[in-house]
Amino acid sequence: MPKMRIQKALSQAGVASRRAVEQMIMDGRITVNGQVVAKLPCFVDLAVDEVLVDGGRVGARAPKCEYFLLNKPRGVVCTQRDPQGRPRAYDLIPAGGKRLYCAGRLDADSTGLVILTNDGALTEYLTHPRYGVVKTYVVEADGRPEPDQLEQLSKGMYLDGKRTGGAQVAVLSRGADRSVLEIRLAEGRNREIRRLLARLGHKVRRLKRVAIGPITDKGLKIGSFRVLKQFEIERLQRVGGRPRETPRRQRERKHGR
């Protein structure tokens, strides 16, 4: 087997998405033949090289892909390691020792749907904005957002010097001092909805992700999980505005066919 970039090799082996592998390298968690990977590019052959992630060897044979849908409770984090020792989403799934990762995170204060899988390709497809996979949130916030503020959310605002992709916003209810909004967006920057609404003067009190593409939280209580059905996985693989490319199509595009 020829050598390939370590991000691609570990993604195909079900370790994590390519972007997540890059972060692991930055954190010093990956070694190749006894040496910590300190920079990229790095090329490996999993059938020959000894590649360790957090001390565990990654084999050339990709594990069977697993797909779980979790309705995450508040206070649970979506990181592999948490210095504060908070409960993790991974701990709520009896994966039998398999390495899983979250296909799109939710912050600890938020609740709702998280997909946990060892399918690195699907994770990248669901999380990268270029594929346009929409996630739906129900948000309870202080105040009564004005129409011009909702328009700002729809058109996009600047966070950290970069414009957001915009969101679809609907007002579900308005009270004297609280409003409930439905927000649909295809990107997921860190605490994006909370930060945008806070900038407009509306502090978020509750945030729940109720859908990932066509997959909703119907019938799934907070703290519960279920295995995704095959037809649901197939729908997720093609739900975005830009279908996920197969390896064959990637090769054809590379060679101009």
Residue 119, domain CATH: 3.30.70.580
pLDDT confidence bin for 8, thresholds 50/70/90 = confident
* Distance linking the first and last C-alpha atoms of the chain: 25
Same domain, 121 and 155: no
Same domain, 175 and 195: yes
- Kindly state whether residue 254 falls inside one of the protein's structural domains: no
Domain CATH code at residue 27: 3.10.290.10
Catalytic residue list contains 82: no
Same domain, 34 and 51: yes
What rounded mean pLDDT belongs to the chain?
Answer: 87
Same domain, 208 and 219: no
Write the CB contacts of 10 (distance below 8 Å, at least 6 apart in sequence).
16, 21, 30, 51, 53, 58, 120
- Kindly state whether residue 167 falls inside one of the protein's structural domains: yes
- pTM to 2 decimals? 0.73
Same domain, 124 and 142: no
CB atoms within 10 A of CB 207: 23
| Number of domains the chain is built from | 3
Tens-digit pLDDT profile for residues 22-53: 988 998 999 999 999 988 999 998 888 899 98
Tens-digit pLDDT profile for residues 65-83: 889 999 999 999 998 888 8
Which domain does 114 fall in, by range?
Answer: 67-129+215-237
State residue 48's pLDDT score. 87
State residue 179's pLDDT score. 97
- Kindly state whether residue 11 falls inside one of the protein's structural domains: yes
Of 27, 49, 54, 107, the catalytic one is 107
- Kindly state whether residue 249 falls inside one of the protein's structural domains: no
pLDDT confidence bin for 204, thresholds 50/70/90 = very high
Domain CATH code at residue 150: 3.30.70.1560
